[in-house]
Structure formats: structure tokens, C-alpha cells
Amino acid sequence: MVKAVVLGAAGGIGQPLSLLLKNSPLVDELALYDVVNAPGVAADLSHISTKAKVTGFLPADDGLEKTLTGADIVVIPAGIPRKPGMTRDDLFKINAGIVHDLVEGVAKFCPKAFVLVISNPVNSTVPIAAEVLKRHNVFDPKKLFGVTSLDVVRASTFVATVAGKADPSQITVPVVGGHSGETIVPLLSQATPAFSPKNDEERDALIKRIQFGGDEVVQAKQGTGSATLSMAYAGFKFAEALLKAAAGEKGIVEPTFVYLPGVEGGAEVQKAVGGLDFFAVPVELGPEGAAKATNPIGSISEHEKKLLEACISGLKGNIQKGVEFKKEASKL
């Protein structure tokens, strides 16, 4: 019996993500939580003729506890999205506290669940989540994931467009680093099937589009939010991969932002990225979650090395900010 939870389920990402989970044969129970409208979304989804039993809770009457108890996988898209002109880091002030409090709930009510953090800025909210779990002595690095799948999905789509390929899903580009601007590093040199941009201009434009794809959607939505449907697709894709691996399927590898010292193979990556504790790399998934971090850094091109340098310096500050937030919060 698999129980999946969405925290922030009434939002732009939360609703379509919940729909995809309700539609999945891998989910038996789906519990939705939000500060508004979660019971309404749950009532709506509950009429769909798939097997998952759906419930919805608000904070009142121990709603978070009821949502999380017995959960195997918790996906967190709770928090505010960007408006034009904002960076993901501008969301920190509000979203850091939201993620902190929700992960406290995870630590108390379902400490063994997989935790998938979507709320931005991912580069900082995942370190916050790790600190909260550590403080409760329940941190299992194999089970905490920053969801960077949308970068991978965009990389496939944008490379397919430039390469003139009809089906983007047949193109895989590893994307490493973090989830914002220059911390997003697509490794075009390791695309499968192999892909070579025509010239440096084409390469640079493609990399920029993958790094700043989020801005494209923020601009197009004109102040009403950021990517929601493509994020729900990407978030579900990652959750599904994890559930399949947990059920024993072998050979599943997905890029995700993990705590390197706690994952097999992570130490090697850590050496290659200036000692950073958190970094997204393709990770082999298994029954316990992150089974093995792969290290694609050794074989990158000279140009990718430069991108990596910019990534490392940006990510360092983002991670530190998340870790320090916990310190402040824990004084309260």
C-alpha cells in the first residue's frame, strides 16, 4: 500500500500534480494538504474512477498530522511563486518558513517517507529541510530530494527543437548543479543521442534558454505565477521514478538535488564541485531512495568547466543561506 501526500495541493502545481498522482496505478492513497481548499480539490479528484483513495485537509483539527501519518512519499510544492522581475532567491523570505514548518511535520509524523521539495528557492529550501530533519534525528539523505526534473525536461525539449527531432522524450541531457539561473548546468556534451550545436552562438543560446526557462514562463504569465503544468509533469515524472524504484524496478536514474555526503558515490562528486554539500547529479534510485550518485563531472568539456565554476560559486551562498536559516529558526 503506497500513500502519497501533496503539501500545497490546492495551488497551481499542487492541483495538476495531485491529478497525475490520482491517475497513477502506483498510488493507493493520496492525501492532500493546503492552507486553503484542499478538501475541495480532494472531493473533486475522488470522483475519478482510479483506485487511489483521496482525502484533503486544512491546518485545523490536526490536519497536517492526519495528512502525513503513514505517508511513504511527500511532495512539497507549497509556497509563493515568482512574479516578473523577481529571482527565486526573492522567495526565500516567505517560502523558507513554509518549508521549515512542513518538514517539521514530516519529521514528527512520517520520518521515513521520501521527501520531494519543489518549493523555491530549491537551492536553499532543501538544505533547510535537511537541517530540520537532522534536528529531529531522522535525517536519511537517501530520502530527501530537491526536484530539478523540470530543468531536465526543458533540456530535452529545447535540444530537440534545435536538433530538429520530432520526439523530445527520446533525448536525454544530464543537468547538474542547482535550480536557478547559472547554477543550472546542462551537460550538452553528454546528451544521448549525441548532439553537437552548430557553433558557439547556438550552444550559448541553448544553454541560456535551459538556465532561464523559468523566466520565459514567468514573463508569459504576466504576474499570475510561474510554471505549474510543466512542473506538475516533471514532479510526477520524478515521483513515479522513485515509486517504481521503491517497488524494485532496477536501472532507474534521474537527476536530483541531494545531500552528497550521505549518498553512495556522493563523496566523489563533492570533490569535483569544490566540496559543496548539496548538488544535483543523475542519481540511481533504489528501494531506499537515492542508491548511488553518478559523477558526470570528470568528462565535461572546457566550456562546461566554466559553467560549473559559476554554478559552484552561486550555489555555495544559496546552500549556506538555507543552513543558516535553520540556525535562526531553532533559536525561536
Ligand X SMILES: O=C([O-])CC(=O)C(=O)O
Ligand Y SMILES: NC(=O)C1=CN([C@@H]2O[C@H](COP(=O)(O)OP(=O)(O)OC[C@H]3O[C@@H](n4cnc5c(N)ncnc54)[C@H](O)[C@@H]3O)[C@@H](O)[C@H]2O)C=CC1
Binding residues for NAD(+): 8-14, 34, 95, 118-120, 231
Three-state DSSP state, 184: strand
The reply to whether 217 sits near ligand X by the rule CB under 6 A is: yes
Looking at residue 21, the DSSP 8-state letter turns out to be: H
- Residue 9 binds ligand X (CB under 6 A): no
Alpha carbon of residue 119 to chain centroid: 8
Our finding on whether 82 is near ligand X (CB under 6 A) is yes
* Closest of 39, 47, 37 to residue 12, by C-alpha: 37
Among residues 186, 214, 282, 289, which is the contact residue for ligand X, using CB under 6 A? 214
Closest separation in Å from C-beta 30 to ligand X? 24
- Residue 25 is given by DSSP the state T
Q: Smaller CB distance to ligand Y: residue 3 or 82?
A: 82
Minimum distance between the CB of residue 187 and ligand X, rounded to whole angstroms? 18
Task: Please report how the helices 122-135 and 92-109 are oriented relative to each other, as an axis angle in degrees rounded to 10.
Answer: 30
CB 17 within 8 A of CB 236: yes
Tell me which of 47, 100, 179, 303 is the catalytic residue.
179
Active site residue 179: yes
Q: Does 209 bind ligand X (CB under 6 A)?
A: no
- Rg of the chain on CA atoms, in Å: 19
Which one of ligand X, ligand Y, none interacts with residue 10, CB within 5 to 8 A by kind?
A: ligand Y
Q: Which does 13 bind (CB under 5 to 8 A by kind): ligand Y, ligand X, none?
A: ligand Y
* Spatial separation of the C-alpha atoms in residues 147 and 76, rounded to whole Å: 10
Joined grid coordinates for residue 145: 530530494
> Least separation, in Å, of the C-beta of 306 and ligand Y?
24
Q: In sequence order, what are the beta bridge partners of 73?
A: 4, 114
Q: Binding residues for ligand Y, per CB under 6 A?
A: 7-8, 10-14, 33-36, 77-82, 91, 95, 98, 102, 118-120, 122, 147, 150, 179, 225-228, 231
